[in-house]
Amino acid sequence: MNDLRSQTIYHGNVQGVGFRWLVSKEVENHLVTGFVKNLPDGSVELLLEGNEKEVKRAAMMIDRKTSQFWEKKSIQARKGGPHFDCFSIMH
């Protein structure tokens, strides 16, 4: 098993601009689960789970598609199986 759980926090102009929708549309092209949600401080949290290669590929494509919105990001990743059955936009 080569599963990965990756949490990314995006900072910048990421709320109220369709950021979560763009992320969810890109995730449709990848075999990952998790969520994207707005945080109270104005940032957005992205959690991706799945095969390490697929999680990294999804994260790279999400970064490319959303780069005009975020100024910085922080990433934490760890090995482990998935906790979610699908990918969703959380509110």
- Encode pLDDT of 23-45 as tens digits: 999 999 999 999 999 999 999 99
Task: Say whether 2 is catalytic.
Answer: no
CATH number for the domain spanning 64: value is 3.30.70.100
Taking the C-alpha atoms of residue 72 and residue 91, their distance in angstroms, rounded to an integer, is 22
pTM for the full predicted model: 0.95
**How high does pLDDT run on average in the chain?**
96
38 in active site = yes
Q: Which domain holds residue 16?
A: 3-90
Q: Are 47 and 7 in contact (CB under 8 A)?
A: yes
Cα–chain center distance at 34 = 8
Which residue in 38, 51, 57, 64 is the catalytic one?
Answer: 38
pLDDT at 18: 96
54-81 tens-digit pLDDT: 999 999 999 999 999 999 999 999 998 8
Q: How many domains does the chain have?
A: 1
